[in-house]
Structure 1
């Protein structure tokens, strides 16, 4: 079922003021009164409580998540584990090479341990 939007919901200071005037209503009733609902093709009203609560949090000036630009590319961090690819190669990702300040052409010695593999960077050849 495709939902039809019923108008723009309140945000910011307007949302805060409206919620204060609706103090005796339930969360669901407040969300609906502030425009946080949709009407389905069948005419059923569905209240979007999560969007309403998120808008309230933002209107209060509370920031729960860092903006995407501050998190990095997609918010992931290095796990310090790699897996052997299907062709038998080991791929060391950009997160690791940047952290180690590696440049194209840097050489390593592989040291095999009982349960680990260690990379030792070789001195550059001048």
Structure 2
């Protein structure tokens, strides 16, 4: 079971000198890929860590800055060509790199991006 809240903060403090991978693993943010390999769920770990520290990435919250220092609005608008753009400022908050893959999960009037091969904890 993945650690959250004060337990997660305590584990981070305890293992602060270890590698990021070891920390994510020790905190329980691990799933098994279809091929039996291990997948470390860094995004879920960092989201839980931010929440444990009282930082919200939800609507209207957060203190991220976009291009030219504008505050991030956490709102995206469908463009005229039908594309929905998630900008660099947002992907940077989660330390996403070019080539990272996501599964697109469609729900009732929502779209969720889940790291490919990762567990979707909210399902």
TM-score by length of 2: 0.46
> In terms of Rg, which structure is larger?
1
Under a length normalisation based on structure 1, what TM-score does the superposition of the two structures give?
0.45
Indicate the structure whose relative CO is greater, using CA pairs within 8 Å and at least 6 residues apart. Answer: 2
